[in-house]
Structure 1
């Protein structure tokens, strides 16, 4: 009898994580969320490539905390949460870009900004008297919160993010990979940093409404970090980053449709699994490269 208790508990847990009843109906009903996830995969892949190239993983977290604070404030006063998230992200991006041009300075600015943003967000949510589900979704994401108008906003945001990154691709890559030489060559480091931080702020704000403020790193950092494990080419890192981000977010949404949990655990689990696989592949490649064996190029 005692041996059956863990089995029953596991079965109950599995039934919460994966519930495939009416899956086809839900798939059709939430198709907008799936398309939104695909758009976010593009944003995450493009922005994440430069996040890793510029070693700005910490900045993503800092902007996400302020995005959370902005969304919580707008929720409290009864305005659009997505707009609040965007305002918070842009404010954080501008502060980081203006106060922390150099990497050492940006880390200290972000370190001061993160607890401030998180504290403000918790304060605003504590004052909010509405549904607790609205509070929870700001932190962990909400699959059913995306409607047609928000999808249009995401597409517009993706176009802006990708267009700007493509426009500054060469100087931003140069400034990211070799900042000292780029500065000596007259590359406008401060302007590029500000442009990228604003673009990153938009990407974070768009991502927060689906995956949540706490776990936005799984979309804007982990896919690109995984891609860097298997290739050193910036272009190939971009391609793999987009692929990994799409698999993580769209796959996470598809699994979340079959369960009762928030979307974040599914997205983060897929994203981390991809990272682990890429780590193994990267280690295998480096080991055989060091031993002088030729491996197929990736």
Structure 2
């Protein structure tokens, strides 16, 4: 099979049939063998009923329906597990991603041997303050932190080799960092293609300003995971040891100072009157806690299970 198209959605009943017709037209014009997997992230409108109708009309249409809204990352996780195509393409269901871009992304994977190609919505139709400016800041921070040189990390239109999506773990809200996850997994040939961004035709955007706050927090998380996810003791153990050494040296200084005063017959104050006592006590406690955090992190890492983070209520084809 040439292509798997993964389409996560939430309450997009107005656009689904139009999107489906457009995709099928492109697939037939290129004579691709394909599957379309709609990933219903807990829609409360008629989205699932439309997906059932499409699946009855076309055996290439498949669907996964969550019991409630779990988030785009979880939807993609389920879709990645189900996808069978040699090339996997993700796109949004709101018609802002054009299916006409699919052949170009597909060819970059097949003929240029990219592991992943990310779309770049160079010209956007979003408001400047609501999306454009925060997106630029977010993408700049992501480039600096991850080392992946993409202009638009959050573009939903992306193409992957099948082997890539089978070897990355998408959780939380990490869908915007899939290129970073792919790089960390050893897939280094990551490209970018300018794609057309269309004005939203139906409904309203599901994302608010809070997604950018969450995005920056996730960026810190993925930086930490990429650096120390497999060896938390290297960070917490090192910091803990450093703090403990500072505390131990401070305690030694207090003891030496008291002995010195006693030996020379000098008057000395109580240990608790010395500010170094509290510095030593605090740093030794913090050092012990950090060391234990690293130790517990290592234990969790070695005993964790792979329990799914979502519940599927229905699945088609």
The normalised TM-score by structure 1 is: 0.26
- Tell which has more relative contact order, 1 or 2 (C-alpha 8 A, sep 6+): 1
Q: TM-score, normalised by structure 2?
A: 0.25
- Which structure's residues are more often strand, by fraction? 2
More helix by share: 1
Rg comparison, structure with higher value = 2
